[in-house]
Amino acid sequence: MNTQRPEIRKGRKYDQVLAGAREVFLRDGFEGASVDDIARAAKVSKATLYSYFPDKRHMFMEMAREQCARQAEVMLQEIDRTAPATKILAQTARGVLQLILSEFGLKVFRICVAEADRFPELGRRFYETGPAMGRQHLAAYLREATSRNELKIDNFELAAAQFQELCKADLYLRLVFGINVSFTEDEIETVVQEAVSTFMARYGA
């Protein structure tokens, strides 16, 4: 199957269409979302909607890509790459948790899992623009920190993936399985600090 992302035409109502798509997909899921509902939420005609996206799948993938890119940009702007490794890792962990514990992160994850058999490209695209992109940025930082002798790492991609998993400890599965619907700042900060401590115990120079 060819899953190459098509050329997306961006016009003055592009953001409006994506905002409507986000609202409907998060509310109704992928299967339950209709193009008519998305057009109504975006306050555009179906013709306008189709002028931007060939079908619902590409609309969903572009919505997820845009949202992940925006959150990644905000996080990268807030991080001072000259700060000590422990501070940068803590900031990164908070950013990871902010995404995966958010309504957006949880609902998109569930949509991708639910549609994995019929539309595997949905999950693939979200993985590429979400977790994989985050891991690439983190691996790049780990290389910099290792070159400054702050960390001692041989496999940067693996170390980045390990840190991402440390950030999921305890909270993420409780959210996915509906045991909890939200967490306190103290609970989140505990996971952040433990993730950093465990990572530094393994990779600190």
Q: pLDDT tens digits for 92-112?
A: 999 999 989 999 889 988 998
- What are 28-45's pLDDT values in tens digits? 989 999 999 999 999 999
CA dihedral 54→56→62→68, nearest 10 degrees, is: 180
pTM of the model: 0.83
pLDDT of 2 over the 60 cut: no
pLDDT at position 176 is 92
**Residue 169 or residue 130, greater confidence:** 169
pLDDT at position 9 is 61
How many Cβ atoms from other residues are within 10 Å of residue 24's Cβ? 26
What are the extents of the domains in the chain? Answer: 9-53, 64-203
pLDDT at position 84 is 93
How many Cβ atoms from other residues are within 10 Å of residue 47's Cβ? 8
CATH topology of domain 64-203: Tetracycline Repressor; domain 2 (1.10.357)
Instruction: Name the pLDDT band for 7 (thresholds 50, 70, 90).
Output: low
- The CATH class that applies to domain 9-53 reads mainly alpha
- CA–CA separation, 23 and 174 (whole Å): 24
- What are 38-79's pLDDT values in tens digits? 999 999 999 999 999 998 988 998 888 888 888 778 777 777
